[in-house]
A = this chain, B = another copy of it.
Amino acid sequence: MQIDEAKVESPAVTARCSGSDLLRWAGMEAAASELTDPVHFATRRVRAGASLVHQGAVLDSLYFVTSGTLKVFHMDVDGYEQIQAFMLRGDVLGIDGAYEGVHKSGAVALEDSTVAILPFREWVRLGHVIPAFEQLMLQATARELARRGATLQVLAAVGAEVRVARFLLQMARRQALLGYSSRRLVLRMRRRDIASYLGVAHETVSRSLTALADWGYIRVMHREIELLDEAGLDTFQQSTRCPGAARAPRLGAGTWRRPPAATLPLHPPRAAAAVA
């Protein structure tokens, strides 16, 4: 393993990576073999802020993220940018466009990133020859679909704090799966991006972050977040739903929020935070 974020490949600008690398990054090391070893893919670097995929562009390649972070978004007619997902290493980008042959969403790098280019037609053909690749594709697709489901759950939460909590936990766990610490995480995106993803105003994200910090669940430093009490955060995140047919045992009307207020020094449940 041992892959550093994006500083490698100083020698050749047009780095390549093997099929086995892809499988490893996708968490399918077991499927790597001498069959997938010799297959190589071109890679492409995407500088922070640069665009990898333009919405509406003809789809001729899929992109496998090998390092970095990208945001996938849909631009509406009125110019509003709706973030649909954040892509990390191991994710495959562009599949949704395979339906109409046109990218349904755009993708921009949030930090210097690298992607392996998967020429669509050829990639499909490759899947016929080498089962491992077909499996990879299927897995990536299914995971993407599952992730969208998770995203819907985030949006389903009523309280803004809960949404933010779910978002943090979600990101932390993905990081953990990639081998990074799940306790400390660096948000590569702006508050505004998070807000768009969560479907709230960016000011609300700020406030929620502050609130979660006051509750004692996390610590916020710039874009760096430390999860002080992951278990507690998880408990908090699970409760509190409501729209529609909420069955949730939502605690007494104005009371709720933050059960474990015991050992923590800061502000109590809610009102206090607003006053402070």
Contact = CB atoms under 8 A, between A and B. Distances in A.
Given A76-B241, A241-B76, A99 B146 contact: yes
A104 B152 CA distance: 13
Given A95-B142, A145-B96, A80 B199 contact: no
A104 B242 CA distance: 21
A142 B99 contact: yes
B246 A80 contact: yes
A97 B142 contact: yes
Contact of A128 (B128, B138, B144, B192): B128
A149 B84 contact: yes
Which has the most chain B C-beta neighbours within 10 Å: A99, A204, A249? A99
Contacts of A98: 138-139, 141-142
B241 A78 contact: yes
Copies assembled:
2
Nearest to A78: B248
A18 interface: no
B199 A243 contact: yes
A199 B105 contact: no
Nearest to A156: B82
A252 interface: no
A253 to B, nearest CB: 16
A44 to B, nearest CB: 22
A145 B141 contact: yes
Interface in A52-109: 74, 76-82, 84, 95-100, 104-105
A202 B244 contact: yes
Contacts of A196: 156, 243-245
A254 to B, nearest CB: 18
27 contacts: A74-B149, A76-B238, A77-B238, A78-B239, A79-B247, A80-B156, A80-B241, A80-B245, A80-B248, A81-B245, A82-B152, A96-B149, A98-B139, A98-B142, A99-B139, A99-B143, A99-B146, A124-B134, A128-B128, A141-B141, A144-B145, A148-B149, A148-B152, A151-B152, A156-B196, A199-B244, A200-B243
